[in-house]
Amino acid sequence: MFNPLGGLGDIQKLQQQAQKMQSALQQEQIAVEKNGVQITMRGDQQIIEVTVDGVIENRIAEAINEAVKKTQELAARKLIEISQQQG
């Protein structure tokens, strides 16, 4: 007999793994410097600091972080739309 809720354990396991991955990525940082611009970013794509020609410009970091957040929200909405169309 087919159990439509049988996959819930797998979903919960995947969610736990995703949360562990997110937590691990938040602990990692990278720094990139190019053409006088240095960006320090966490592994979860949050920008910590932007420096332009030696001047910290966190207004830029805040704007980029907001743009990344909006694209993540857009992706989540699209995923929900697609999953509802398939259901």
DSSP 13-29: HHHHHHHHHHHHHHH-E
Greatest pairwise CA separation for the chain in angstroms: 66
pLDDT in tens, 61-83: 999 999 999 999 999 898 888 88
Is residue 87 over pLDDT 80?
no
Q: How confident is the model at residue 3, as a pLDDT?
A: 53
Distance CA(65)–CA(72), nearest Å, equals 11
> pTM of the predicted model, to two decimals?
0.66
* Alpha carbon distance, N-terminus to C-terminus of the chain: 21
Structure tokens given for 58:
């966190």
Tens digits of per-residue pLDDT, 6-49?
555 677 888 888 888 888 888 999 999 999 999 999 998 899 99
- Residue ranges of domains in the chain: 29-86
Find out whether 61 and 69 touch, Cβ atoms under 8 Å: no
